Homo-oligomer: A and B are copies of this chain.
Amino acid sequence: MEGSLDTKPRWERRKDARPEELLAAAVDLFVERGFASTRLEDVARRAGVSKGTLYLYYENKEELFKAVVRNSIVRALGEAEDSIAGFDGHSADLLRILIHGWWQRLGATKASGIIKLVMAEAGNFPELAQFYREEVIDRGTKMISSMLERAVASGEFRPVDVNMVTQVIIAPMLMLVTWRHSVAPCNGSELDPMVFLDTFLDLTLRGLLPADNPHRTSSA
Contact = CB atoms under 8 A, between A and B. Distances in A.
B189 A167 contact: yes
A5 interface: no
Contacts of A179: 171
Contacts of A120: 34, 116-117, 119-121, 182
A133 interface: yes
A185 interface: yes
Interface string A8-49: 000000000000000000000000111011000000000000
A143 interface: no
Can you tell how many copies of this chain the complex includes?
A: 4
A151 interface: no
A183 B141 CA distance: 12
Q: Size band of the A side of the interface?
A: 35 or more
Nearest to A122: B186
A124 interface: yes
Interface string A62-83: 0000000000000000000000
Contacts of A122: 182, 186
A183 B187 CA distance: 22
Contacts of A129: 186
Interface of A: 32-34, 36-37, 116-124, 129, 132-133, 137, 141, 164, 167, 170-171, 174-175, 178-179, 181-183, 185-187, 189-191
